[in-house]
Amino acid sequence: MAFTLERFVAVRPFLFHLTATGNLNRIMDTRVLQPTNDLLTIAGWRAPRTAPRRGPQLVEIDGQTVWIRDQRPLHAGNIAFEEGWDMPRFLALIDSHVFFWPGKEEGPVKAGINHFKRYAQDRPALIRVPTGALLDANPELEPLFCRFNSGAPRASHGRKSPRGSTTYVSEHALDGTVDHVKEALFCGAVKMPLTSQMASSYSGPWAQVFR
């Protein structure tokens, strides 16, 4: 069945976001998830990046330490960049978005499960939010979608993963069905609805983020 936003909300009624546990206080205070570029700008970081983060980056904002996750799975050797694209441009694209793994109440799609397993030893926090509520809270933001884990390109039988202007697409440009979508994302800061929940694992227990 062709992809539509209405069907996406019905089939993937929850979106999941993984963050460092130390970031929860700021999220609770602001009720916003901010893209990396915004956080770095607020923290006074001005230099453009030319290579993926090979470890977490810590910045200080309003007296709080904010953890920005590494990008170790992002290897240039596995990427076939579209014409006019290179790693610095793609990094700027990634860091201007807030990402979610789509799923159901019990957990996200397999790519999201694998992402959590990769960082499980760091004891990250999970945020679960109803898809419809998130869209309603951000009517000015166009939801975008990706058919793969965009931060972990792979090369298979000598064929590299494409990256560029068609990596993140709108509802009407997506070639595929809801089942093909691995990431949902927004360009810019995302307001979080009061129905957002948090946990340390997909099995819960889940608690309200905002009280």
Reply yes or no on whether the pLDDT at 89 is more than 90. yes
Residue 186 CA from chain centroid, whole number: 8
Query: What is the distance between the alpha carbons of residues 77 and 161, in angstroms, rounded to a whole number?
Result: 10
Q: Which two tokens stand for residue 121?
A: 């030893």
30-67 pLDDT tens trace: 999 999 999 999 999 887 788 999 999 999 999 999 99
- Quote the pLDDT of residue 1: 79
- Quote the pLDDT of residue 39: 96
Residue 183, Cβ neighbours under 10 Å: how many? Answer: 25
- Quote the pLDDT of residue 156: 87
Reply yes or no on whether the pLDDT at 158 is more than 90. no
| Radius of gyration of the chain, Cα coordinates, nearest whole angstrom | 17
The domain spans of the chain are 5-18+73-199
Q: Which residues pair with 196 in a beta bridge?
A: none
DSSP code string of 192-210: PPTT-EEESSTT---EES-
90-104 pLDDT tens trace: 999 999 999 999 999
133-153 pLDDT tens trace: 999 999 999 999 999 999 999
User: pTM score > 0.75 for this model?
Assistant: yes
170-197 pLDDT tens trace: 999 999 999 999 999 999 999 999 999 9
- Quote the pLDDT of residue 2: 87
Query: What is the distance between the alpha carbons of residues 83 and 89, in angstroms, rounded to a whole number?
Result: 12
Reply yes or no on whether the pLDDT at 157 is more than 90. no
88 Cβ neighbours under 8 A, 6+ residues apart? 48, 49, 50
Q: Which two tokens stand for residue 167?
A: 């990596």
3-36 pLDDT tens trace: 999 999 999 999 999 999 999 999 999 999 999 9
Average pLDDT, the chain: 96
